[in-house]
Amino acid sequence: MALTGLDIYKRLPKTNCRECGVPTCLAFAMRVAAGQATMDGCPRLSDEARAELGEASAPPQRLVKMGPEQNPIEVGQETVLFRHDEKFHHPTAVALRVSDAQDGNAIREACTAFKALGFPRVGQVLTAQMIALDNESDSVEKFTAAAEIIAKELAVPMVLMSRKLDSLAAAATGPLTGARPVLYCTADASVDDLAVLAEKAAALLCVAGSLESVAERVEALAAKGIKNVLISPGDAPASATLEFMTRTRRATLKKKFRPLGYPVLAVAAAQDATAAALDACAYVCKYAAVVVCNAWEPYLLLPILTTRQNIYTDPQKPVQVEAKVYDIGEVGPASPLLVTTNFSLSYYAVESEVEASRIPCRILAVDTEGTSVLTSWASDKLNPKTITAALKAAGMENEVKHRKLVIPGLVAVMAAPLAEESGWEVLVGPKEASGIGPFLKSEWKVA
Ligand code: SF4
Longest CA span, the chain? 79
Nearest CA to ligand 1 atom 7: 25
Look at residue 38 in the predicted model and tell me its pLDDT: 79
**The pLDDT of residue 311 is above 60:** yes
Calculate the CA dihedral of residues 346, 350, 351, 357 and round it to 10 degrees. 170
| Residue among 17, 26, 40, 46 to mutate when testing ligand 1 (max atoms within 8 A of CB) | 17
Look at residue 85 in the predicted model and tell me its pLDDT: 85
Q: How far, in Å, from the CA of 61 to the mean position of ligand 1?
A: 23
Nearest CA to ligand 1 atom 6: 20
Q: 325-446 has which fold?
A: Rossmann fold (3.40.50)
5-57 CATH pick, 3.40.50.1820, 3.30.565.10, 3.40.50.2000, 1.10.15.40: 1.10.15.40
Q: 15 in ligand 1 pocket by Cβ < 6 Å?
A: yes
- CATH 1.10.15.40 positions along the chain are 5-57
- CATH 3.20.20.20 positions along the chain are 63-311
Q: Which atom of ligand 1 is nearest to the CA of 24?
A: 5
Nearest CA to ligand 1 atom 2: 42
Q: 9 in ligand 1 pocket by Cβ < 6 Å?
A: no
Please, which residues have CB within 8 angstroms of residue 281's CB and are 6 or more apart in sequence? 303, 304, 307
Using CA atoms, how far apart are residues 339 and 439, in angstroms rounded to an integer? Answer: 14
What are the φ/ψ torsions at residue 221 (nearest 5 degrees)? -65, -40
* pTM of this structure: 0.79
- CATH 3.40.50.11600 positions along the chain are 325-446
Look at residue 53 in the predicted model and tell me its pLDDT: 77
Give the CB-side neighbour count of residue 290, counting CA atoms within 13 A. 37
Q: 39 in ligand 1 pocket by Cβ < 6 Å?
A: no
pLDDT digits (tens, 9 = 90+) for 431-446: 999 999 999 998 876 4
**The pLDDT of residue 196 is above 90:** yes
Q: Which atom of ligand 1 is nearest to the CA of 16?
A: 5
HEC profile of 194-224: HHHHHHHHCCEEEEECCHHHHHHHHHHHHHC
Q: What is the CATH number of domain 63-311?
A: 3.20.20.20
Using CA atoms, how far apart are residues 391 and 365, in angstroms rounded to an integer? Answer: 10
Give, to the nearest 10 degrees, the angle between helix 298-311 and helix 273-285.
Answer: 10
pLDDT digits (tens, 9 = 90+) for 279-299: 999 999 999 999 999 999 999
pLDDT digits (tens, 9 = 90+) for 342-388: 999 899 999 999 999 999 999 999 999 999 999 999 999 999 999 99
